[in-house]
């Protein structure tokens, strides 16, 4: 992982990323902004022929994973760790899906 990050950092100037932009996935045309993954992935999802390309997003992924974890037999601590990582409220999901 560190090697990949180092490679990104080393190639920033080749991609016209400003030296003062502190983001790892920096936006090349703005001083202090990051790349929006949806704008990068959405055209590829359309090009790949996905049936619902607009549903390929981190929001949909978090919702999907939070629903899937409900059917897994997870310990409370594992569930808390997953919900913290996904930025979701375990208790509201538990009340909604059970």
Give the residue, 2 or 56, on which the prediction is more confident.
Answer: 56
pTM of the predicted model over 0.85 = no
pLDDT, position 68: 78
For residue 74, give both structure tokens. 């997870």
State both tokens at 34.
Answer: 């990051």
Residue 63 buriedness (CB in 10 A; 0-12 / 13-18 / 19+):
middle
At 51 the pLDDT is 94
Tens of pLDDT, residue by residue over 84-97, are: 777 767 665 555 55
pLDDT at site 80: 81
The distance in angstroms from the start CA to the end CA of the chain is 38
The pLDDT value recorded for residue 90 is 62
Task: Provide the b/e sequence for 35-50 (b: ≥16 CB within 10 Å).
Answer: eeeeeeebeebeeeee
Q: How do residues 4-56 score in pLDDT, each as one tens digit?
A: 888 888 888 888 888 888 888 888 777 778 888 888 889 999 999 999 998 88
The Cα 29–Cα 18 span in angstroms is 8
Nearest C-alpha neighbor of 97 from the set 72, 73, 67:
67
Query: Residue holding tokens 């992982």?
Result: 1
Contact call for residues 42 and 55 (beta carbons, < 8 A): no
């Amino acid at each position: 992982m560190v090697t990949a990050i180092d490679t990104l950092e080393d190639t920033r100037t080749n991609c016209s990323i400003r030296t003062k932009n502190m983001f790892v996935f920096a936006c090349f045309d703005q001083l202090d902004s990051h790349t929006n993954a949806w704008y990068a992935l959405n055209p590829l999802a359309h090009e790949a022929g996905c049936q619902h390309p607009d549903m390929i997003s981190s929001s949909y992924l978090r919702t999907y994973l939070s629903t899937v974890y409900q059917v897994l037999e997870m310990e409370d601590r594992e569930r808390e760790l997953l919900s913290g990582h996904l930025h979701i409220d375990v208790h509201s999901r538990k009340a909604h899906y059970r």
